[in-house]
């Protein structure tokens, strides 16, 4: 019974979301991309509701829509009133991640958080290993030219956000519910703004900070709203 939910976790969290966001961030500032991902909590709650896992209250939906509205308004303002291709790639990645989060969070109630992500990664190997080998083969001779900082970043993405982080994430979704705990993701843009400024030297403007604080307020309001399982 776990095979199909695990396959959806692979499609959403192991392949779809990382691939599309990585392509988008080649031309999109990391801070801007992180703010676009702010619609993910709403998408996660919506997926859980449509699948019949949870039934959020009207107050919850008001807060979730408010957070998503703030994110979209900021993206439009930053893009001069329109969404660019990179924005669309990020927004296309959002429903894939929502699917992987909701399915994995529900499965973690019976399997456990570490087991969900470990089995999902193992299930993805037959698909991804040949693809990675094909893409990397022409560049093997250039691996020695990759710098220390690049390897460090690659290692963190591999063992931190794509592996160990999911231990805690899926455990939290299993304990507190997909819709409610998913709203914590609205804090991600705020933290990513700081990370982009510290690590990448991107500008941390007053407008970005005010927007992030508004999103944080929505998170705490949404956490107080009722969600039935």
Q: What is the pLDDT of residues 147-205, one digit of tens each?
A: 888 889 889 988 888 889 899 989 988 888 887 787 787 777 777 778 878 887 877 77
Beta bridge partners of 227: 56
What is the structure's pLDDT at 125?
93
The dihedral through the CA atoms of 201, 166, 51, 224 has a sign that is negative
**In the chain, domain spans:** 3-126+150-224
Determine how β-strand 55-56 pairs with β-strand 227-228: antiparallel
SS (H, E, C) 12-42: HHHHHHHHHHHHHCCCCCHHHHHHHHHHHHH
Helices of type H across the chain: 3-9, 17-24, 30-36, 40-50, 58-78, 85-111, 113-136, 148-156, 165-176, 178-182, 188-200, 206-223
Query: What whole-number distance in Å separates Cα of residue 81 and Cα of residue 63?
Result: 24
Structure tokens at 199: 């690590």
| pLDDT value, residue 121 | 92
In the predicted model, residues of the chain with pLDDT beneath 50 are none
CA 188 to chain CA mean position, Å: 9
Q: What is the pLDDT of residue 223?
A: 63
Q: What is the pLDDT of residue 204?
A: 73
Q: Which residues have C-beta within 8 Å of that of residue 228, sequence separation ≥ 6?
A: 54, 55, 56, 57
Please state the pTM of the whole predicted model.
Answer: 0.80
What pLDDT sits at residue 123? 93
Structure tokens that stand for 196 in this block: 């982009």
Q: Which one-letter DSSP state was computed for residue 53? A: S
- Residues 148, 153, 156, 159: is their CA dihedral positive or negative? negative
């Amino acid at each position: 019974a776990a095979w199909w939910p695990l396959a959806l976790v692979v499609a959403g969290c192991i392949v779809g979301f990382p691939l599309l966001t990585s392509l988008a961030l080649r031309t999109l500032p990391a801070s801007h991309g992180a703010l676009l991902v702010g619609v993910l909590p709403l998408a996660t709650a919506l997926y859980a509701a449509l699948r019949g896992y949870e039934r959020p209250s009207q107050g919850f939906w008001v807060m979730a829509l408010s957070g998503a509205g703030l994110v979209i308004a900021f993206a439009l303002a930053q893009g001069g009133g329109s969404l660019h291709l990179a924005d669309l790639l990020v927004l296309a990645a959002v429903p894939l991640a929502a699917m992987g989060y909701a399915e994995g969070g529900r499965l973690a109630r019976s399997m456990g958080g570490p087991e969900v992500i470990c089995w999902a990664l193992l299930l993805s190997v037959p698909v991804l290993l040949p693809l990675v080998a094909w893409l990397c083969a022409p560049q093997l001779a250039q691996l020695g030219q990759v710098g220390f900082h690049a390897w460090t970043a690659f290692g963190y993405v591999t063992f931190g956000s794509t592996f160990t982080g999911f231990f805690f994430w899926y455990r939290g979704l299993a304990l507190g519910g997909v819709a409610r705990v998913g709203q914590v993701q609205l804090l991600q843009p705020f933290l990513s703004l700081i990370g982009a400024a510290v690590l990448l030297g991107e500008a941390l403007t007053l407008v970005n900070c005010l927007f992030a604080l508004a999103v944080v307020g929505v998170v705490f309001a949404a956490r107080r709203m009722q969600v039935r399982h």
